Amino acid sequence: MNRVKIGIVGTGYIGNVHARIFARDERSEVAGLFDIKPERAERTAKSVGGKVCASREELFENCDAVLVTTPNKTHTEIAAHAVAAGKHVFCEKPFSIGLSDAKKLLEIAQNSTGVFQVGHNRRYAPVYAKLKELLKEDRAHSAHVKMNRGELKNPIWTGDTNVTGGFLYETTIHLLDMMRFQFGEIAELVAYGSQHEYPELDEFSILFKFKDGFHCTFASSSDASWHFPFERIEVFCHHRTILTEEMEHLIDSREMDANFETFSWAMTEKDERWGYVLEDKAFIDAILNKTEPLVTALDGYKSVELVETVYQAIKTGEKIKFD
Ligand SMILES: NC(=O)c1ccc[n+]([C@@H]2O[C@H](COP(=O)([O-])OP(=O)(O)OC[C@H]3O[C@@H](n4cnc5c(N)ncnc54)[C@H](O)[C@@H]3O)[C@@H](O)[C@H]2O)c1
């Protein structure tokens, strides 16, 4: 069997995470690397191999599938270019910035003959897969969700809204996507936001109501601390609380006498614990088996729509209903 040749555009932090995973999968090889800072591509090539290319065009000539692992604002243009070149595409989150670009990329992705997968890795994290499994056997009534960051300083562009599209696109979008994955489609939301440490809205409180009546509160701060767990979901069911801490633990507490069971992935390697290994395996599976990935372009589009809706709800002060 021929290995799937992976080409990586952007060999920074997350490009290297994916590079080492694809290099380990016997069904794929890192064939090409392109970065506007060539020394970064050269460094990656030293550890996982692959041809350091001088342009995207040269990279596309050397690969079957393209990873878009550049800063947020570049995703739409690079992903569209890769689809036009006939490549399978793995596009890191966010899918796009703004509804207009997101619609354009959705149409391009849906007309592509190749696979188009979006990098919402948390769907593949064992802790969130377990939560989804447990919620199949019980009906969730409500939840409290938080997703914080300690700073918007590293990488340096994370504090620049011209690059990120705003904090919600950079970090919070992970758990906004998780809302739909765990609890289904959203019917309406209200949101409040304020500005403190950075020249953008950096603190958020959101109230969601879902189509099946489930509802939840959602808090997200970009200027909290890195105190563990900076992301957490607490779900309340019939005399039952299911609690996730980061991607390390899930505590399932049932009945009225404080019984609980703990599941832990704390000792699991980070690339697996955060879902990256299964996410990348799923990309190769989808290419080889011609199947749809778990996180599609439509999911990517919906996560952008959610971000934009939260910003709009804050701006207008109105409750917004989804069609
Ligand atoms: N899914 C996740 O858990 C996760 C984690 C981190 C980052 N991300 C996302 O991945 C993307 C990259 O983040 P990062 O932390 O790796 O950033 P980074 O700054 O570490 O790396 C980005 C790389 O892209 C290169 N680059 C910039 N513009 C380019 C262009 N037009 N063509 C080619 N190369 C270009 C930069 O030189 C840099 O090496 C962002 O969109 C971020 O939101 C996702």
Task: Please give the distance, rounded to the nearest whole angstrom, from the Cα atom of residue 69 to the centre of ligand 1.
Answer: 5
**Atom 40, ligand 1: which residue's CA is nearest?**
71
| Position in ligand 1 atom list of the atom nearest CA 170 | 43
Task: Please give the distance, rounded to the nearest whole angstrom, from the Cα atom of residue 7 to the centre of ligand 1.
Answer: 14
Take residue 255 and report the two structure tokens written for it. 């009945």
Segment (H or E) for 215: strand 215-221
**What residue ranges do the domains of the chain occupy?**
4-122, 124-275+304-321
Task: Please give the distance, rounded to the nearest whole angstrom, from the Cα atom of residue 273 to the centre of ligand 1.
Answer: 21
Task: Please give the distance, rounded to the nearest whole angstrom, from the Cα atom of residue 15 to the centre of ligand 1.
Answer: 7
Q: Is 76 in the pocket of ligand 1 (CB under 6 A)?
A: no
pLDDT, tens digit, for every residue of 111-162? 999 999 999 999 999 999 999 999 999 999 999 999 999 999 998 999 999 9
Per CATH, the number for 124-275+304-321 is 3.30.360.10
At 257 the pLDDT is 82
At 72 the pLDDT is 97
Mutate to test the pocket of ligand 1, among 11, 14, 271 (most ligand atoms within 8 A of CB): 14
Topology annotation, domain 4-122:
Rossmann fold (3.40.50)
What is the crossing angle of helices 75-84 and 99-110, to 10°? 20
Q: Is 154 in the pocket of ligand 1 (CB under 6 A)?
A: no
Take residue 137 and report the two structure tokens written for it. 């056997």
Separation of alpha carbons 244 and 126, rounded Å: 11
Q: Is 119 in the pocket of ligand 1 (CB under 6 A)?
A: yes
| Position in ligand 1 atom list of the atom nearest CA 34 | 33
pLDDT, tens digit, for every residue of 212-228? 999 999 999 999 999 89
DSSP per residue over 56-91, as a string?
Answer: HHHHHHT-SEEEE-S-GGGHHHHHHHHHHTT-EEEE
Find all residues with CB under 8 Å of 253, minimum gap 6, and list them: 240, 241, 242, 243, 259, 260, 261
At 1 the pLDDT is 60
At 34 the pLDDT is 98
For the chain, list residues with pLDDT below 50: none
206 φ/ψ angles, rounded to the nearest 5 degrees: -130, 145
Gyration radius from the chain CA atoms: 20
Place of tokens 């704390």: 266
Task: Please give the distance, rounded to the nearest whole angstrom, from the Cα atom of residue 320 to the centre of ligand 1.
Answer: 32
At 269 the pLDDT is 97
At 234 the pLDDT is 98
Q: Establish whether the linkage from the previous residue to 293 is cis, with ω within 30° of 0.
A: no
At 240 the pLDDT is 95
